[in-house]
Amino acid sequence: MAPGLSQLHILPFRVAAYDKKAGKMSFFDPSRKEDFDFISGTRMRGLARSGATPPDGFMAPSAWQILADYYKSMTNK
């Protein structure tokens, strides 16, 4: 074992995903897995580049506009 590794503590974290029923980001509930949409960074960038909008409640519209403008500008370069 590497030095110091015995003192390493792994902290679990809760996974957030878009809750289609609630219409917002929420912590994933495995008992309702069909209600959740995992929006990856790759998918988000694709939506932004194409001018599509994410589901309501995914991100503040003003923040989305900043991302969309940035990724659209990158496709022109």
pLDDT in tens, the chain (77 residues): 677 788 888 888 999 999 999 999 999 999 999 999 999 999 999 999 998 999 999 999 999 999 999 999 987 66
| CA distances, 50 to each of 16, 24, 45, 57, 72 (Å) | 24, 22, 9, 19, 7
Residue corresponding to tokens 């809760």: 14
Task: Tell me the two tokens of residue 38.
Answer: 């995992």
Task: Tell me the two tokens of residue 55.
Answer: 């589901």
3-state secondary structure of 40: coil
What pTM does this model have?
Answer: 0.71
